[in-house]
Amino acid sequence: MASRLNPYISFDGNAREALEYYQQTFGGDLAVSTFGEFDQDSPIPDKVMHGMLEAPNGFTLMAADNPPGIDVTPGTNITVSLSGDDAQSLRSYWDRLSDGGTVTVPLEKQMWGDEFGACVDRFGIPWMVNISGG
C-alpha cells in the first residue's frame, strides 16, 4: 500500500455500533482496537480507539470514539485521513497541508508505533496523517 485517502468519523461513544451498521451496509472486514488495549488505566477501556472498515468495493471508512472532554458535533465530526507506508510522500503532504494551517497534533511517533499528526488546513479542513511503521 502506498497511500490511502478516506473519511475518519468521530463519535460520542457509539463508534462500534456505527461501524457495525456500516459493515452491514457496505460489507467487508471490520477491525476494531479499544482504548483499553493500549492503556489499561483508560477511563473508557471498551470504547473504540480506532476502527477500520474495508469494503470489497474499495471503500474504506475509519472511526473512533472521542475521549472524555472532547465534544462531538454531528455534521462537523469528519476528518480526512491520509495513511500508508510511503513516508516521503505522506510527509510532503503533511508539510503542505499544515503550512498556513493549525497543527493540533505534531507529526511524530505514537504509542501504536506509527508516525501520526493532525492539523486543520488554511481552508478549515481537518486532516490526519498516519505513516505506518514510522
pLDDT at position 14, please?
93
Assigned C-alpha cell, 53: 472498515
Domain that holds residue 17: 3-131
Quote the percentage of the chain above a pLDDT of 70: 99
- In this predicted model, what pLDDT tens digit does every residue of 4-33 receive, in sequence order? 899 999 999 999 999 999 999 899 999 999
pLDDT at position 1, please?
60
CATH number at residue 97: 3.10.180.10
Cβ contact 46:34 at 8 Å: yes
| Number of domains forming the structure of the chain | 1
